[in-house]
């Protein structure tokens, strides 16, 4: 038996009161007049009490009194109060008679809770009452918004039909009048509220009526409209923008209104992520909306059922994508560009990407790790031969071998490892008398490294040209490559400068190393080359993303470096503050030949600002002795202040700041560990996609050598046939079709995915739905209809019919109490079936199952005649 919430128990008690209400309906007018007289008496007594309180104000100044209590009926008048009371009773026929017989009163009146008549009827889910009130145009826009918020599709549909009949639908649905007493803001239109509740049926109804939603201006927009609204009310302007973006991020709205829903979700998610950085006050809201759009695109891709559908979605490129590298997997490139990690890490997407990645290497994922290692070593050893085959025979099967993405990766990695081996040899192989030569000529290894460096620079220029400066700078590894190549260029330049300066000087006249100028070009080139070597070896970390074990560690390391960069800003401020104070205290006590920590005996470490910062930096690692704060003169105040400042700095640095840094790095590592699968798959996909680009497959230094493909193309032009058979049968090659045909196929597939997505979401809601407040509302509606019928029968009833009505009502009371005491779905089902049977003049057997038909024997029978 499914569980029922506590709210159902309260609703069942309300049903009991609702059933008992016909007994009290005949006394409504009498109670109304009596209530008015009682309220008048209360007002008189309150007035007298207030007069007495004025005389004794000094004694009763701390007594809380009821002040200006007014009856809502008195506030609106007798007709308005009577009208609201009749509406609250739920009898549609009486309301219709009252409206037809009374024309001179305010039909838009509201009770003390701010509820209009149509509002009350919609809240009670009384459809007959709503149908009557809608005809008289009673606060339709407010009630429409209320019905949308409650997701009452029947009331929304009824109001829309009436508004369409009155030809006011476009006016009301495109804007909100924004009444002073309205519950909703003037910016809250029906389409925005429907998108906020994410109700598919209501959104479909509104969009079918031609409702539109204006896109907000850019957050940095400086037009006159934005400036005037911002200056008038900045909070209202920001909240209005947030409400608009909440509506735009609605999954059902994107699915129903966008021609390219996945791309729309990408761009909107990226835009919301940027807004979260600008609108810091609503950062969490914008980030939540960004993730919502990202999850929507991922769930749409979940609906793909075949590789053909998946390739159609991922390979389709649109002119609005604004990506220079369109073609294969263009949607996946767009997802990486907009940082859509959930979409990229989706299993279907990863399966297709892995299939294309290992294409040409059959059975790679099922190989033993030893066979994989052996295969990679063989390719890595013979990579120069494969490159030469591609240069000479570019269109042959052997020449096309390294055009596969996985082969590109292995060959490129082998080429870079060879480059690193040459760097090690350049520093380890010693040349006689090269250390004392101020302008040495290049060695053999340096001559081999020269074309390698030139080809690396050429590869970076090609990447910058094809991808654009913005995409190039956004990748931090490209920035690292830029600095590395700049250091190598500076090294080559200084070496050439040193060689030209000393080429005409005989070797026996050249100075030894100890006599060189501190800024000698050879010394500068050696320093630059050593730093470039560090960057070159660290660049190898990027390839760790291809491994499932090393990839998450590399991602965590990158995130920790970002935390360290933020921490260094605070740490440097503390360091500079204490260094400046200690330097101000000690700079007048310097009389030694050597100052600072680097002397044979540390002394006066705070003689200059630089020395003070240096001393405080190394003190964090325990490399500074305490006697650096000592002085030869017996100036105990200076020594005490200096020692205290040095101790406070170490206290702040070691205990506070270092532990803050550890906590930040631990938080970053834990975040990556919690999302290791998504983060690693996204980083791996980003690495793999660089090898799918239609560029030269040759790695450095062969990428600067042109292939013979133009010669073969020229020969084929003369002879009229292909020199080589078409050996490129890879699935990674995009089939060239017309733009209209590819768009037609894409639209067919995306429509299928959207239908499956909506159906899956609707089914998911039905599966999770056990027994909710809406079920009780439907039961209340059935009881209201039955109560109206009973009241009509009571008015013209014979004694026999009155007895039957009394028996039926007592039976309903017993069943309602049973449902209240034991609010299970079975009891509530029995109660509703009995109510429907009574309303239709039949009987319901509580002992039969829900699938059995009602027998001809009736326990209670109502005479249908007047």
Of 794 and 563, which is predicted with more confidence? 563
Could you write out the three-class secondary structure of 600-622?
Answer: CCCECCCCCHHHHHHHHHHHCCC
Of 710 and 38, which is predicted with more confidence? 710
Is-contact 834 776, C-beta < 8 A? Answer: no
Q: How many residues belong to the chain?
A: 866
User: What are the angstrom distances between the C-alpha of 593 and each of 599, 603, 607, 639?
Assistant: 9, 10, 12, 22
Q: How many percent of the chain have pLDDT more than 70?
A: 70
Strand partners, 110: 116
Separate counts of helices (H) and strands (E) for the chain: 38, 0
- Both structure tokens of 521: 């070009």
Which residues have CB under 8 Å from 574's CB, separation 6+? Answer: 649, 652, 653, 657
Point out the least confidently predicted range of 42-56, 383-397, 550-564. 42-56
User: What are the angstrom distances between the C-alpha of 29 and each of 17, 34, 35, 74, 429?
Assistant: 19, 9, 10, 15, 111
Query: Could you give phi then psi for residue 258, rounded to 5 degrees?
Result: -95, 140
Is-contact 760 320, C-beta < 8 A? Answer: no
Render pLDDT for 649-663 as a digit per residue (tens, 0 to 9). 989 988 888 898 888
Mean pLDDT across the stretch 325-344?
85
At residue 55 the predicted structure's pLDDT band, cuts being 50, 70 and 90, is: very low
681: nearest Cα among 291, 344, 295, 354 = 344
Sequential DSSP letters for 493-562: HHHHHHHHHHTTS-GGGSPPGGGS-TT-HHHHHHHHHHHHHHHHHHGGGGGGGGSTTHHHHHHHHHHHHH
Residue 19: exposed, middle, or buried by beta-carbon count in 10 A (0-12, 13-18, 19+)? buried
Q: What is the DSSP letter of 91?
A: -
Which residues have CB under 8 Å from 815's CB, separation 6+? Answer: 827, 830, 831, 834, 846
- pLDDT of res. 419: 93
Model-level pTM?
Answer: 0.74
- Kindly state the helix (H) or strand (E) to which residue 260 belongs, with its residue range: none
At residue 50 the predicted structure's pLDDT band, cuts being 50, 70 and 90, is: very low
Point out the least confidently predicted range of 280-289, 307-316, 584-593. 584-593
- pLDDT of res. 415: 92
Q: What is the DSSP letter of 624?
A: S
- Convert 104-114 to b/e letters by CB count within 10 Å (16 or more is b): ebebebbbeee
Point out the least confidently predicted range of 463-467, 524-528, 812-816. 812-816
Query: Is the pLDDT at 57 greater than 60, yes or no?
Result: no
- pLDDT of res. 54: 46
Query: Is the pLDDT at 512 greater than 90, yes or no?
Result: no
- Three-class SS state of 286: helix
Mean pLDDT across the stretch 826-840?
53
Instruction: Tell the residue number behind the tokens 């990766």, with chain if given.
Output: 409
Point out the least confidently predicted range of 584-593, 594-603, 680-689. 594-603
- Three-class SS state of 596: strand
CA distance linking residue 842 with residue 603, whole number of Å? 107
Render pLDDT for 98-122 as a digit per residue (tens, 0 to 9). 777 776 666 667 777 777 777 777 7
Residue 466: exposed, middle, or buried by beta-carbon count in 10 A (0-12, 13-18, 19+)? middle
Alpha helix positions (H), 279-363: 283-301, 307-315, 330-337, 341-344, 347-357
Query: Is the pLDDT at 212 greater than 60, yes or no?
Result: yes
Q: How many percent of the chain have pLDDT more than 90?
A: 19
- Three-class SS state of 574: helix
- Both structure tokens of 356: 């294309």
CA distance linking residue 703 with residue 455, whole number of Å? 7
- Both structure tokens of 1: 């038996």
- Three-class SS state of 76: helix
- Three-class SS state of 110: strand
Query: Could you give phi then psi for residue 603, rounded to 5 degrees?
Result: -150, 150
User: What are the angstrom distances between the C-alpha of 700 and each of 414, 478, 689?
Assistant: 10, 16, 19
Average per-residue pLDDT in the chain?
76
- pLDDT of res. 846: 45
At residue 335 the predicted structure's pLDDT band, cuts being 50, 70 and 90, is: very high
Of 325 and 280, which is predicted with more confidence? 280
Is-contact 395 444, C-beta < 8 A? Answer: no
CA distance linking residue 290 with residue 267, whole number of Å? 10
Q: 31-40, 322-331, 575-584, 718-727 — which one is most confidently predicted on average?
A: 575-584
- Both structure tokens of 184: 């909703």
Render pLDDT for 340-384 as a digit per residue (tens, 0 to 9). 999 999 999 999 999 899 887 777 878 888 888 898 888 888 899
- pLDDT of res. 708: 85
272: nearest Cα among 215, 343, 201 = 215
CA distance linking residue 24 with residue 711, whole number of Å? 102
Of 776 and 567, which is predicted with more confidence? 567
Domain assignments of the chain as residue spans, ordered by start: 6-28+770-839, 117-324, 554-672
- Three-class SS state of 116: strand
CA distance linking residue 833 with residue 835, whole number of Å? 5
Query: Is the pLDDT at 278 greater than 60, yes or no?
Result: yes
CA distance linking residue 635 with residue 26, whole number of Å? 103
Is-contact 123 96, C-beta < 8 A? Answer: no
- The yes/no answer on whether domain 554-672 falls in CATH 1.10.1660 is no
CA distance linking residue 51 with residue 584, whole number of Å? 76
Of 176 and 248, which is predicted with more confidence? 248
- Three-class SS state of 180: coil
Query: Is the pLDDT at 270 greater than 60, yes or no?
Result: yes
Mean pLDDT across the stretch 202-210?
86
Which residues have CB under 8 Å from 195's CB, separation 6+? Answer: 203, 213, 246, 247, 248, 250, 252, 253
């Amino acid at each position: 038996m499914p569980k029922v919430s506590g709210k159902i128990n309260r609703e069942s008690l309300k049903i009991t009161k609702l059933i008992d209400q016909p007994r009290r309906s005949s006394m409504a007018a009498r109670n109304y007049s009596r209530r008015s007289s009682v309220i008048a008496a209360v007002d008189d007594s309150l007035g007298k009490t207030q007069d007495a309180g004025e005389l004794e104000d000094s004694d009763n100044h701390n007594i809380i009194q009821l002040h200006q209590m007014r009856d809502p009926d008195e506030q609106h008048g007798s007709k308005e109060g009577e009208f609201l009371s009749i509406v609250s009773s739920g009898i549609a026929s009486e309301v219709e008679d009252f409206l037809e017989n009374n024309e001179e009163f305010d039909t838009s009146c509201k009770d003390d809770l701010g509820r209009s008549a149509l509002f009350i009827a919609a809240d009670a889910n009384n459809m007959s009452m709503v149908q009557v009130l809608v005809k008289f145009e009673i606060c339709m826009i407010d009630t429409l918004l209320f019905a949308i918020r409650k997701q009452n599709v029947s009331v929304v549909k009824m109001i829309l039909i009436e508004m369409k009949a009155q030809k006011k639908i476009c006016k009301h649905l495109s804007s909100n009048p924004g009444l002073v007493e309205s519950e909703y803001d003037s910016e809250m239109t029906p389409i925005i509220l429907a998108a906020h509740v994410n109700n598919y049926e209501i959104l479909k109804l509104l969009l079918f009526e031609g409702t539109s939603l204006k896109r907000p201006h850019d957050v940095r927009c400086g037009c006159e409209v934005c400036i005037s609204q911002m200056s008038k009310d900045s909070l209202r302007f920001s909240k209005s923008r947030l409400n608009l973006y909440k509506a735009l991020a609605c999954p059902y709205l994107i699915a129903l209104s966008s021609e390219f829903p996945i791309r729309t979700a990408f761009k909107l998610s990226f835009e919301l992520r940027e807004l979260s950085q600008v609108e810091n006050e609503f950062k969490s809201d914008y980030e939540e909306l960004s993730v919502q759009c990202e999850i929507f695109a991922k769930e749409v891709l979940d609906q793909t059922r075949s590789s053909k559908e998946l390739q159609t979605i991922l390979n389709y490129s649109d002119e609005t994508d604004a990506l220079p590298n369109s073609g294969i997997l263009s949607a996946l490139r767009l997802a990486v560009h907009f940082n859509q990690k959930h979409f990229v890490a989706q299993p279907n997407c990863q399966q297709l990407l892995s299939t294309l990645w290992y294409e040409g290497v059959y059975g790679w994922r099922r190989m033993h790790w030893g066979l994989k290692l052996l295969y990679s070593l063989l390719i890595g050893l013979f990579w120069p031969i494969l490159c030469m085959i591609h240069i000479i025979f570019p269109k042959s099967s052997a020449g096309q071998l390294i055009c596969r993405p996985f082969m590109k990766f292995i060959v490129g990695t082998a080429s870079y490892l060879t480059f690193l081996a040459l760097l090690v040899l350049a520093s380890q192989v010693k040349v006689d008398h090269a250390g004392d030569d101020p302008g040495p000529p290049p060695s053999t290894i340096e001559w081999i490294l020269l074309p390698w460096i030139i080809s690396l620079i050429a590869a970076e220029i090609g990447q910058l040209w094809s991808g654009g400066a913005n995409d190039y700078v956004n990748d931090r590894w490209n920035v690292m490559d830029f600095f590395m190549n700049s250091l190598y260029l500076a090294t080559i330049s200084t070496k050439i400068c040193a060689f030209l300066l000393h080429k005409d000087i005989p070797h026996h006249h050249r100075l030894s190393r100890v006599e060189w100028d501190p800024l000698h070009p050879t010394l500068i080139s050696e320093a630059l080359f050593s730093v470039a070597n560090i960057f070159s070896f660290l660049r190898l970390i990027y390839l760790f993303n291809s491994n499932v074990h090393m990839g998450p560690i590399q991602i965590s390391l990158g995130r920790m470096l970002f935390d360290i960069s933020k921490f260094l800003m605070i740490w440097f401020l503390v360091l500079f503050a204490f260094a400046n104070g200690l330097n101000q205290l000690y700079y007048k006590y310097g009389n030694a030949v050597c100052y600072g920590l680097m002397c044979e005996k540390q002394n006066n470490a705070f003689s200059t600002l630089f020395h003070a910062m240096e001393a405080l930096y190394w003190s964090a690692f325990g490399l500074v002795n305490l006697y650096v704060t000592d002085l030869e003169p017996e100036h105990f105040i200076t020594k005490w202040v200096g020692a205290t400042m040095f101790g406070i700095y170490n206290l702040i640095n070691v205990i506070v700041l270092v532990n803050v840094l550890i906590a930040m790095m631990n938080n970053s590592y834990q975040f990556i560990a919690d999302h290791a699968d998504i983060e690693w798959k996204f980083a791996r996909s980003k690495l793999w996609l660089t090898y799918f680009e239609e560029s030269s497959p040759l790695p450095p230094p062969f990428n600067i050598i042109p292939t013979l493909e133009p010669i073969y193309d020229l020969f084929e032009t003369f002879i009229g046939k292909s020199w080589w058979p078409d050996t490129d049968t890879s699935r990674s090659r995009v089939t060239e079709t017309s733009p209209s045909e590819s768009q037609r196929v894409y639209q067919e597939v995306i429509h299928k995915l959207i239908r499956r997505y909506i159906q899956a979401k609707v089914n998911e809601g039905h599966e999770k739905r056990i027994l909710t407040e809406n079920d009780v509302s439907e039961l209340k509606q059935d009881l209201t209809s039955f109560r109206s019928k009973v009241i009509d029968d009571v008015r013209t009833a014979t004694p026999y019919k009155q007895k039957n009505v009394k028996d039926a009502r007592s039976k309903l009371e017993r069943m309602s109490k049973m449902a209240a005491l034991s609010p299970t779905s079975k009891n509530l089902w029995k109660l509703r079936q009995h109510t429907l049977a009574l309303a239709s003049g039949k009987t319901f057997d509580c002992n039969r199952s829900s699938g059995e038909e009602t027998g001809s024997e009736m326990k209670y029978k109502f005479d249908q005649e007047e």
